[in-house]
Amino acid sequence: MNSIMPLLSQSARLPLRFSCRIRHFHIQQKKLAVELTRIRYPNLKRGPYANVCDADISNFEKLLPGHGRVITDVNELDGFNTDWLKTCRGSSQVVLRPKTTEEVSALLCYCNDRRLAVVPQGGNTGLVGGSVPVFDEVIISTQLMNNIISLDEVSGILVCQAGCILANLDSYLKDHKFTMPLDLGAKGSCHIGGNLATNAGGVRLLRYGSLHGTILGLEVVQASGVVVDCLSSLRKDNTGYDLKQLFIGSEGTLGIITKAAILCPQKPNAVNVAFLGCDSFNRVLDVFQKSKHMLGEILSAFEFMDAASMDVIQKNLKMHNPIADFPFYILIETSGSNGNHDEEKLNKFLETMLSTQLVNDGTVATDMSKIEAVWSVRERMAEGLMHDGYCYKYDVSLPLLKFYSLVEDMRRHLGSRVTRVVGYGHVGDGNLHLNITTPAYSHEIMDLIEPYIYDWVARHHGSISAEHGLGFKKKQFIYHSKTKSAVKLMQAIKKLMDPNGILNPYKTIPDAS
Exactly one of 59, 72, 214, 366 binds its own copies (CB under 8 A); which one? Answer: 214
Q: Is residue 129 near its own copies by the rule CB under 8 A?
A: no
Backbone phi, psi, residue 97, to 5°: -125, 80
CB of 1 to its own copies, least distance (A): 29
* Continuous H helices in 380-468: 381-386, 405-414, 443-449, 452-459
Q: Is residue 53 near its own copies by the rule CB under 8 A?
A: no
Exactly one of 76, 296, 357, 367 binds its own copies (CB under 8 A); which one? Answer: 296
Q: Is residue 499 near its own copies by the rule CB under 8 A?
A: no
Exactly one of 31, 62, 174, 341 binds its own copies (CB under 8 A); which one? Answer: 341
The answer, yes or no, to whether the previous bond of 65 is cis (omega within 30 of 0) is no
Shorter beta-carbon distance to its own copies: residue 9 or 238: 238
Q: Which residues contact 130 (CB under 8 A, 6 or more apart)?
A: 198, 251, 252, 469, 470, 471, 472, 504, 507, 508
Shorter beta-carbon distance to its own copies: residue 313 or 470: 470
Q: Is residue 344 near its own copies by the rule CB under 8 A?
A: yes
Exactly one of 8, 39, 234, 512 binds its own copies (CB under 8 A); which one? Answer: 234
Q: Is residue 250 near its own copies by the rule CB under 8 A?
A: yes
Q: Distance of CA 293 to CAs 244, 320, 373, 478, Å?
A: 34, 31, 27, 36
Q: Is residue 434 near its own copies by the rule CB under 8 A?
A: no
Q: Is residue 254 near its own copies by the rule CB under 8 A?
A: yes
Exactly one of 39, 50, 492, 512 binds its own copies (CB under 8 A); which one? Answer: 492
Which stretch in 92-100, 281-289, 380-388, 415-423 sits in contact with its own copies by CB under 8 A? 281-289
Which stretch in 11-19, 71-79, 378-386, 468-476 sits in contact with its own copies by CB under 8 A? 468-476
Give the count of beta carbons closer than 10 Å to the beta carbon of residue 38: 17
Between CA 126 and CA 122 the distance in angstroms is 9
Q: Is residue 149 near its own copies by the rule CB under 8 A?
A: no
Q: Is residue 429 near its own copies by the rule CB under 8 A?
A: yes
Q: Is residue 285 near its own copies by the rule CB under 8 A?
A: yes
Q: Is residue 227 near its own copies by the rule CB under 8 A?
A: yes
Exactly one of 91, 168, 232, 419 binds its own copies (CB under 8 A); which one? Answer: 232
Helix 54-63 and helix 101-114, axial crossing angle in degrees, nearest 10: 160
Q: Is residue 240 near its own copies by the rule CB under 8 A?
A: yes
Helix 17-29 and helix 368-379, axial crossing angle in degrees, nearest 10: 40
Dump strand ranges (E) for 207-318. 215-221, 227-230, 256-263, 270-278, 299-306
| Binding to its own copies, residues 381-410 (CB under 8 A) | 397, 399-401
Shorter beta-carbon distance to its own copies: residue 285 or 310: 285
Exactly one of 147, 150, 337, 356 binds its own copies (CB under 8 A); which one? Answer: 337
* Continuous H helices in 64-137: 74-81, 101-114
Residue 108 falls in which region: left (phi positive, over 0), alpha (psi -120 to 50) or beta: alpha
Exactly one of 75, 416, 485, 513 binds its own copies (CB under 8 A); which one? Answer: 485
Chain centroid, CA 95 distance in Å: 23
| Binding to its own copies, residues 150-209 (CB under 8 A) | 152, 154-155, 198-199, 201, 205, 209
Chain centroid, CA 112 distance in Å: 29
Shorter beta-carbon distance to its own copies: residue 418 or 464: 464
CB of 299 to its own copies, least distance (A): 9
Between CA 35 and CA 198 the distance in angstroms is 25
Between CA 243 and CA 42 the distance in angstroms is 37
Burial class (CB within 10 angstroms; exposed 0-12, middle 13-18, buried 19+) of 36: middle
Exactly one of 309, 467, 500, 506 binds its own copies (CB under 8 A); which one? Answer: 467
CB of 296 to its own copies, least distance (A): 3
Q: Is residue 330 near its own copies by the rule CB under 8 A?
A: no
Q: Is residue 512 near its own copies by the rule CB under 8 A?
A: no
Dump strand ranges (E) for 111-226. 118-121, 138-141, 148-152, 157-161, 215-221
Exactly one of 19, 147, 338, 476 binds its own copies (CB under 8 A); which one? Answer: 338
Q: Is residue 486 near its own copies by the rule CB under 8 A?
A: yes
Strand order in the sheet with 157-161: 148-152, 157-161, 256-263, 215-221, 227-230
Q: Is residue 417 near its own copies by the rule CB under 8 A?
A: no
Between CA 113 and CA 160 the distance in angstroms is 29
Q: Is residue 210 near its own copies by the rule CB under 8 A?
A: yes
* DSSP secondary structure letters along 494-507: HHHH-TT--BSTTS
Exactly one of 242, 351, 455, 511 binds its own copies (CB under 8 A); which one? Answer: 242
Between CA 432 and CA 395 the distance in angstroms is 6
Shorter beta-carbon distance to its own copies: residue 94 or 353: 353
Shorter beta-carbon distance to its own copies: residue 250 or 363: 250
Shorter beta-carbon distance to its own copies: residue 168 or 491: 491
Beta bridge partners of 256: 221
Q: Is residue 146 near its own copies by the rule CB under 8 A?
A: no
